A and B are shown apart, each in its own frame.
Chain A
Amino acid sequence: MNSLTLNGKNISFEPGQTILEAARTHGVDIPTLCHLQAADHKGVCRICVVEVQGADRLLPACATPAGDGMVVDTHSSKVVQERKMLLELLVANGDHNCLFCEANGDCKLQALVYEYGVKNVARRAGYEQRPIDDATPMILRDFNKCVLCGRCVAACNDVQVNNAIPYPFGRREDKPPVTGWLPVADYDRCVHCGECVQACPVGALLEKKALGKAMTWQTQKVRTTCPYCGVGCQMWLHVKDNQVVKVTGVEDVLPNRGRLCVKGRFGYDFVHAPDRLTTPLIKENGAFREAGWDEALGLVASRFSEIKAAHGPQSLAGFTSARATNEENYLMQKLVRTGFGTNNIDHCARL
């Protein structure tokens, strides 16, 4: 019988589950910061520590297997005090001012600091300003906000497997000063997929194109399917004032489990490009002029009808689109087959 006592309640668990997993299965929330399920990355930040009866110290719930007969307290005063102390250390070891932070409202550190009532922590004496990496057009890396959780490292190496953010192996003394163990990107390997940004629990890694476009609570998120390749990644379009301001992956669903590539995540500007077609155009004497829908569609219908009457249905053809929806493809082939009267319908699947 696999059961343990969690906050005074008896719960069952599956063999092999950690205390964290067992607790979450039963709807008990234990806070985490570094844990990245997709990469099985854990055991760095210790925010998830719990009190286990009989243990001589607090144990990280993410890395401790649930054991039969364990008595676990997830929010004892000892645990809460420990978490508060860890949070104070994190805040003191960085530049964490939410007023000036793009992640305001979407930050795990901010949420935990609020929850645990951390107040007025001064920057650690002797804190050395860390670098800000502004080298690419897509991603901003401000290591002063980094909490060294390692999620970006795991996301890059174990989720997307691009190996562009090296694991911090070795001794700190051997590392270059200032950067030390900071997760610095290797741009010879980076493919700008942005998985690291999505994994970052704070504001250290940011989508540069979204900077200043909207505060997190001002946007609406609309779930849709990526318009690029055939994988069909599920994505959130973050929308403010009829503008797409950011794109993120939808976590934990197929086919992409939250992952996106550079085109899916950063390739949305075309939606609002200034040279989008906004009105029907009719060519006259070699140049286009703007027209209304009634005139344009009237012309299209009459010209196709004339050609059909003069040369037969086989003189017409339609090309549908591998970019349009199923519904639109269905209508296009139906139009060609029933309106034009021919099976001359194809698209560029071959290309």
Chain B
Amino acid sequence: MAGLAVSLGSGAMTNSIAEMEDAEVLIVIGSNTTIAHPVLATFVKQGVVRKGAQLIVIDPRRIPLVDQSAIWLRQRPGTDIALINGLMHTIIKENLADTAFIAERCENFEEMRKVVEGYSPERVEEITGVPAGEIVKAARLYGQAGKAMILYTMGITQHTHGTDNVKSLANLAMLTGNFGRPSTGVNPLRGQNNVQGACDMGGLPNVLPGYQPVIDETVRAKFEALWKAPLDARVGMTLTDAMTAAADGRIKGVFIMGENPVVSDADSHHVMAALKKLDFLVVQDIFLTETAAMADVVLPAACFAEKDGTFSNTERRVQRVRKAVNPPGQALADWQILTALANVMGLDWKYESPQAIFEEIRVATPSYAGITYERLEKETLQWPCPTADHPGTPILHVGRFSRGKGLFAPIEHQEPFELTDEAYPMTLTTGRVLYQYHTRTMTGRCAGVNDMAPVAKMEMNPADSARMQVVDGEFVQVSSRRGHIEVRVEVTESVREGVVFIPFHYAEASANALTVAALDPVAKIPEYKVCAVKVEKRPQPGLHG
């Protein structure tokens, strides 16, 4: 979400989920919403079906939302910037830009305009494969709307130029004045229940709770006083950088709470090699995951139903988690384990309940200062909520952007890190399926749900399967420069010719054995969405079924 923070001053969803019903136009780009955020998608679909919203889907795959769309732009994977520039080119050319909004609330427009000038629909068609006429149609639809929302997720961010993708979307919304009002804005949909909260709480190497920079001396002084401990002035390592540092011996000890990077991270061979090199690895989880199996010490944690606390959802809504059952055996809630460990390490922590911790969070995090457990019993609050009588903030950037003026970013099209070639002629893109979640530690153990999608299937276009003479359900070998896996084929028009799709959930056919750990230089997000692979028929009877 680094891109939005640069353009607008805040990296979070600008608007709220329920507003999606009332948008005139919705752009859904790089988000298979009905699969990854099924309930949120119902608001989009209701907007279309019951309130006449026009939906523009921008996705290389024929995702289910295409059924509800007025326009579907099927770009070549990794060409989003060119496509967005093409939309903006047309909006400017046809005088659909909101010049008053741009003049009053934004800066750097001229620089952006100059770049976009070079992206005629015809040139964009050449880069993206989307017909010029469709680009113009979509630009007019979005440009003429009174209130239009953009929704995106990992299809936008999981690229080496993911930050630039996000800035491009901010450009598009600023160009049309779609900020600070109901049913507008640029809205990143968070994939995990508390990604928003983990970021808000300073689970990031560059910022303390509330996105306060560690390199800021005043900020550090405030936290040193609150925590009664000295703080390091340097920005720390991201997860992906830390893995590299572990591999070359600079990182020696790692503590992992509730994550399974061996399956979820790009280039899993690299991750395993890195973790193996560590002197000491501690994993705290609810199951003995692939990552936990590599640990020196495993600590048993309670799951969501066994503890109290709060999660912050994708629209910045802080909501209660309540204990319903006891944890199994000696398992303890993460907060209890962390408190006990801190005390063994001599830190003298005295937290007796999640509520007591939350009271400290209110002091540390200005945007949470007005939220209390008592208030959450009777109201629902979205941050920023700075004071006890503040009603919370459903819409950001009203009247003024968090950073002052919205910053237009001139951005040129860039090719993905790894292009197809003779040796690896097909493009692999990864994502989710409805019935599984992340590395399946939860859904894989759920009767019924797991039965709906028990094995990995690689989507392949009928033209490709016919050429290779493989049939639906057949096992093939898929290789990249990082590794190879065997996986069943699902023949479907969902992917275009030359592109295959593998869900990343399955350890036995791990898509991330193939993906490339090439990172976006700012957000450090790996390019999960594009890499080059080859698919080979492998005649091995007995593996079927």
Chain A residues engaging chain B, CB cutoff 8 angstroms: 136-138, 158-161, 191-193, 208-209, 220, 222-234, 237, 239, 242-244, 253-257, 259-264, 266-273, 275-283, 288, 292-293, 296-301, 303-305, 307-308, 311, 313-351
Contacts and interface: CB of A to CB of B under 8 A. Distances in A.
Contact of A329 (B194, B264, B299, B341): B194
B431 to A, nearest CB: 12
B16 to A, nearest CB: 8
A328 B309 contact: yes
B193 A226 contact: yes
A318 B257 contact: yes
Listed residue (A137, A239, A271) with the most chain B CB atoms within 10 angstroms of its CB? A271
A236 B278 CA distance: 42
A310 B195 CA distance: 34
Interface of A is mostly: mixed
Given A333-B201, A344-B205, A255 B317 contact: yes
A305 B321 CA distance: 33
A230 B190 contact: yes
Contacts of A225: 193, 304, 311, 313, 319-321
B126 to A, nearest CB: 31
Interface stretch (B43-51, B404-412, B457-465): B43-51
B18 A325 contact: no
Contacts of B446: 263, 266-270
Interface of B: 1, 16-18, 34, 36-40, 42, 45-46, 48-50, 68, 157-158, 189-206, 208-209, 214, 227, 229-232, 234-240, 242, 245-246, 250-259, 261, 264-265, 279-280, 282, 285-288, 292, 295-301, 303-307, 309-315, 317-326, 328-335, 337-342, 344-345, 347, 349, 351, 354, 357-358, 360-361, 364, 380, 434-435, 437, 441-443, 445-449, 451-452, 523-526, 528
B236 A315 contact: no
Contacts of A262: 38, 434-435, 449, 452
A329 B201 CA distance: 6
A267 B287 contact: no
Nearest to A278: B329
A259 B300 contact: no
B214 A343 contact: yes
Contacts of B326: 242
B335 A327 contact: yes
Given A161-B68, A229-B191, A347 B259 contact: yes
Given A279-B300, A330-B364, A161 B42 contact: yes
A254 B297 contact: no
B322 A318 contact: no
B443 A263 contact: yes
Contacts of B206: 343
Given A225-B193, A262-B38, A329-B197, A277 B242 contact: no
